[in-house]
Amino acid sequence: MKSFFCSLFFVLSVTAFSQTSKIVYLTADRVFDGVDMHEGWAVVVEGDKIVAVGPQEKIKAPSRATKINYPGSTLMPGLIEGHSHLLLYPYNITDWDTQVLKETDAYRTARATVHAKNTLMAGFTTARDLGTEGAGYSDVALKRAINEGIIPGPRLMVAGRAIVSTGSYGPKGYDHDQEIMLGAEPADGNDLVRVVRDQIGKGADFIKIYADYRWGLQGEDQPSFTLDELKLINEVTRSSGRVMVCHAKSKEAIRRAVMAGAETIEHGDFIDVEIGKLMKEHNVTYIPTIAAVDMISQYRGWKKGVTAEPANVTNKKKSFKEAIASGVAIGMGGDVGVFPHGENALEMELMVEYGMQPLQVLRAATSVNAKAFHLENQVGSLKEGLKADIVIVQGDPSKIISDVRKVKFVMKDGVIYRSEK
Ligand SMILES: [Zn+2]
> What CATH number matches the domain at 79-372, 3.40.190.10, 1.10.10.10, 3.20.20.140, 3.90.1150.10?
3.20.20.140
Are the C-beta atoms of 111 and 337 separated by less than 8 Å?
no
CA of 194 to the centre of ligand 1 (A): 23
Please, which residues have CB within 8 angstroms of residue 1's CB and are 6 or more apart in sequence?
none
**Rounded Cα gap, residues 99 and 96, in angstroms:** 5
Query: Which residues are near ligand 1, the ion (C-beta closer than 5 Å)?
Result: 130, 335
Burial degree of 272 (CB within 10 A; 0-12, 13-18, 19+): middle
Greatest Cα pair distance in the chain: 73
pLDDT tens for 181-217 read 999 999 999 999 999 999 999 999 999 999 999 999 9
Q: What is the mean pLDDT of residues 171-180?
A: 93
pLDDT for 322 beyond 50: yes
| Angle ∠(242,243,245) on CA atoms, nearest 5 | 145
DSSP state of 188: -
Digit-coded pLDDT (tens) for 341-367: 999 999 999 999 999 999 999 999 999
The CATH number, out of the four listed (2.30.40.10, 3.30.930.10, 3.60.150.10, 3.40.50.1100), of the domain defined by the range 2-78+381-419: 2.30.40.10
Find the 366 Cα to ligand 1 centroid distance in Å.
Answer: 19
CA dist 44 and 414 (Å) reads: 10
Query: Is a pLDDT exceeding 90 seen at residue 24?
Result: yes
Q: Look at residue 324 in the predicted model and tell me its pLDDT.
A: 98
Which residues of the chain are in CATH 3.20.20.140 domains?
A: 79-372
Please give the average per-residue pLDDT across 258-279, as a whole number.
98
What is the tens place of the pLDDT at every residue in 93-127? 999 999 999 999 999 999 999 999 999 999 999 99
Q: Which residues pair with 14 in a beta bridge?
A: none
Is 50 exceeded by the pLDDT of residue 13? no
Contact 47, 21 (CB under 8 A): yes
* pLDDT for 367: 99
CA of 301 to the centre of ligand 1 (A): 21
Residue 17 — pLDDT band, cuts 50, 70, 90? Answer: very low
The boundaries of every CATH 2.30.40.10 domain in the chain are 2-78+381-419
Cα of 334 from ligand 1 centre, angstroms: 8
pTM: 0.95
